[in-house]
Amino acid sequence: MATITFTVTVASGTNAFSTANKFFINGEVSPVLFLKEGDTYVFDQSDASNANFTLGFSSTKDGNLPNAIAPYTTGVTVTGTAGQAGAKTTIVVAPVRTVGAPVLFYYNSLSGNALTVGMGNSAQTTSPTSGTTSFDPQMDDIIEEAYERTGVLGTRTGYQLRSARRSLNILFQEWANRGVHLWKIKLAKIPLVEGQAEYSYATDSQNFPDDINEVLEAYYRNNSNTAAPVDVALTKIARSAYSQTPNKLTKGTPSQYYVDRSVNPSIFLYATPSSSVSSTSTPSNFQFCFYYMSKIQDVGGYTNTSDVVNRFYPCMISGLSYYLSQKVSPERAGELERRYESEMLRALDADNQGTSSFISPQTFYGDGV
């Protein structure tokens, strides 16, 4: 729990009551205070202007002479004499759920004349927040939530858990087909090898990723001058265009690439790197770089968390409940499918990059060399 200190002074000012002597809290004339349950608040009244004005608390709104207001004393400690060194009023705000701290008001608690009325304002007590933003449900919680939406309640059997885990893995494959998971975009940098057309995990397990779902865009980087690297965009071509290339081992500067989307993807460059755009002594000087969408990791143990960003949690759970409904409550499948697609649209909208519109110039490569 936190301790917060306020500096209190007294001067003529105007608030909702009148223009007269007022409490100034950190230089502001009788502001509304917001006090969090469990926190400690220290009101420093050592300034000489506080003489004869001791800040107190009440559950009654200020507006009467101080001796007509019932003080609130739970967790309140007054130390010293207002206007002298070390003077302060301290309040530890009681939790509403246990003690029942009311809406409070601060006022001048010393008896006096009418000039001391209306010096303060309300001091609203609020419940504390968790202070965390790390909600990341485990697989068993995700599965439980999904089953509850299908109407299947109670303790899960081993078969139900296995069935849900299988369905969730299938759901992730569906997402891969939709290409929705922007949070899984990564950048790979592969050293160019003279005369080599094919690049894959088999040819370079150190640099080539083994979790490619889709290659999004690629470029050739000349990094020989590290102070001013040069990137040149490459054009993605289809299998038919690559297959019709007469000499696939022609050397030069790569300008095109073809992705073989097999179980273990390979990428073919054309032209193959020449000696002027490759280096065995300094491989990082010349690189084939590409952004790719990686695969979502499989569902592991039931105490594992998912490989899904939090903005897709509602979509993931809605999708799993729809998949499960086809097996355990088909009468709900239609409704759950509509909810799933609705959550998918919201998640996709949240997942977009929100970039400004721009026009990208098209590059022509002549005969493809």
Give this prediction's pTM.
Answer: 0.63
Q: How far apart are CA 107 and CA 72, in angstroms?
A: 11
Average pLDDT for 68-79: 88
List Cβ<8 Å contacts ≥24 apart for 233-237: 233/363, 234/269, 234/288, 235/363, 235/365, 237/270
Percent of the residues in the chain that have a pLDDT greater than 70, as a whole number: 90
**CB neighbours (10 Å) of residue 167?**
21
Cβ atoms of 276 and 192 within 8 Å: the answer is no
Q: What does the pLDDT look like over 159-183, one tens digit per residue? A: 999 999 999 999 999 998 887 777 8
Q: What does the pLDDT look like over 245-262, one tens digit per residue? A: 999 999 999 999 999 988
**CB neighbours (10 Å) of residue 220?**
21
Question: What is the homologous superfamily of the domain 3-126 according to CATH?
Answer: Cupredoxins -  blue copper proteins (2.60.40.420)
Q: What does the pLDDT look like over 29-65, one tens digit per residue? A: 999 999 888 899 999 999 999 998 999 998 888 766 6
Average pLDDT for 225-235: 91
Give pLDDT, residue 25.
97
Cβ atoms of 223 and 278 within 8 Å: the answer is no
Specify burial of residue 153 (Cβ count, 10 A radius: 0-12, 13-18, 19+): exposed
Give pLDDT, residue 359.
44
Strand partners, 230: 222
Give me 303's structure tokens.
């105490």
Give pLDDT, residue 362.
42
Q: Which of 143-147, 179-183, 285-289 has the lowest mean pLDDT?
A: 179-183
Give pLDDT, residue 67.
61
Domain boundaries, the chain: 3-126, 139-181+297-351, 182-294
φ/ψ (deg, to 5) at 44: -75, 115
